[in-house]
Amino acid sequence: MGKTKKWTATALLGAAVLTAWPALPAATTHAASVQSQTYTGTVINSVNLRTAPSTSGRVITLLKAGEKLSSVTESNSYWYKVTTSSGLTGYASSSSEYIQVTPVSGSAPSSSAKTGEIVYGVNMRTEPSTSGRVIRMLKKGESVQIVSSNDYWYKIVTSSGENGYISSSSKYVEVTGSGNSNSGSGSNDSGGSSNNGNASDRDQLIQKVFEVGRSYLGTPYEFGSDRNTTRTFDCSDFTRTVYREATGIILPADSRQQGAWVKSNSTAVYDINSLKPGDLMFFMSYKGSTDAAYKGINKSTERITHVAIYMGNGQIMQTYSVKSGGVRIDNLTASWTRRFLYGGSVL
Give bridge partners of residue 61 from the DSSP assignment.
49
The dihedrals phi and psi of 229, each to the nearest 5 degrees, come to -130, 170
Average pLDDT, the chain: 79
Region 244-250: mean pLDDT is: 88
Quote the CA–CA distance of 156 and 148 in Å, as a whole number.
7
Tell me the whole-structure pTM to 2 decimals: 0.47
Parallel/antiparallel/unpaired status of strands 47-50 and 59-63: antiparallel
Parallel/antiparallel/unpaired status of strands 134-138 and 122-125: antiparallel
Give bridge partners of residue 47 from the DSSP assignment.
63
DSSP 25-91: PGGG-HHHHHTTS-EEEEESS-EEEESSSSTTSPEEEEEPTT-EEEEEEEEETTEEEEEETTS-EEE
pLDDT digits (tens, 9 = 90+) for 136-174: 889 999 999 888 777 678 888 888 778 888 988 888 899
Quote the CA–CA distance of 70 and 87 in Å, as a whole number.
8
Quote the CA–CA distance of 101 and 68 in Å, as a whole number.
10
Give bridge partners of residue 100 from the DSSP assignment.
42
Give the strand order in the sheet containing 47-50: 59-63, 47-50, 89-93, 79-84, 68-76, 39-43, 99-103
The dihedrals phi and psi of 291, each to the nearest 5 degrees, come to -60, -35
pLDDT at residue 314 above 70? yes
What is the distance, to the nearest Å, from the Cα of residue 209 to the centroid of all Cα atoms in its chain?
11
pLDDT digits (tens, 9 = 90+) for 269-294: 999 999 999 999 999 999 999 999 99
The dihedrals phi and psi of 272, each to the nearest 5 degrees, come to -60, -25
Report DSSP state, residue 45: S
Residue of 223 and 108 predicted with greater confidence: 223
Note the pLDDT of residue 13. Answer: 35
Note the pLDDT of residue 200. Answer: 61
Q: 188 in helix, strand or coil? A: coil
Q: Which of 52-56, 69-73, 83-87, 286-290 has the lowest mean pLDDT?
A: 52-56
Note the pLDDT of residue 190. Answer: 29
pLDDT at residue 243 above 60? yes
Share above pLDDT 70 across residues of the chain, in percent, rounded to a whole number: 77
